[in-house]
């Protein structure tokens, strides 16, 4: 995985079933569900990515695609750019 670090939350916290990944030296944060019997296809949430002054976006993708986080982020940025035209 490209420059991604993981932090595990305490099991007794509200995020005990999630992992927090940071990518690109803190450039991006991803809250990812851990695989579980009741979560057969876990997601990752890209948290509050700034796209303009005072405007942030968040988006989800499948945890199995986490290694492609940069490509997915670039696609989200292209989508936002297309909305601005």
Q: What residue has token string 């509200």?
A: 14
Using alpha carbons, select from 38, 28, 30, 14 the residue that is nearest to residue 62.
30
What was the pLDDT predicted at 1?
46
Q: What is the secondary structure of 29-40 as a DSSP string? A: EEEEEPPBTTBS
Average pLDDT of the residues in 71-84:
88
Q: How far apart (Å, rounded) are the C-alpha atoms in residues 16 and 82?
A: 37
Identify the H or E element spanning 65: none
Are 46 and 58 spatial neighbours (Cβ–Cβ below 8 Å)?
Answer: yes
Average pLDDT of the residues in 59-74:
93
Are 33 and 39 spatial neighbours (Cβ–Cβ below 8 Å)?
Answer: yes
What was the pLDDT predicted at 27?
75
pLDDT digits over 3-57, tens only? Answer: 678 899 999 999 999 999 988 777 788 999 999 999 989 999 997 777 888 888 8
What was the pLDDT predicted at 3?
67
């Amino acid at each position: 995985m490209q420059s991604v670090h993981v932090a595990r939350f305490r099991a007794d916290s509200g995020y005990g079933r999630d992992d927090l990944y940071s990518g690109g030296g803190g450039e991006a944060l991803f809250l990812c569900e851990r695989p579980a019997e009741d979560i057969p296809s876990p997601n990752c949430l890209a948290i509050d990515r700034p796209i303009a002054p005072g405007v942030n976006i968040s988006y989800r993708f499948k945890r199995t695609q986490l290694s492609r986080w940069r490509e997915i982020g670039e696609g989200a940025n292209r989508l936002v750019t297309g909305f601005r035209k």
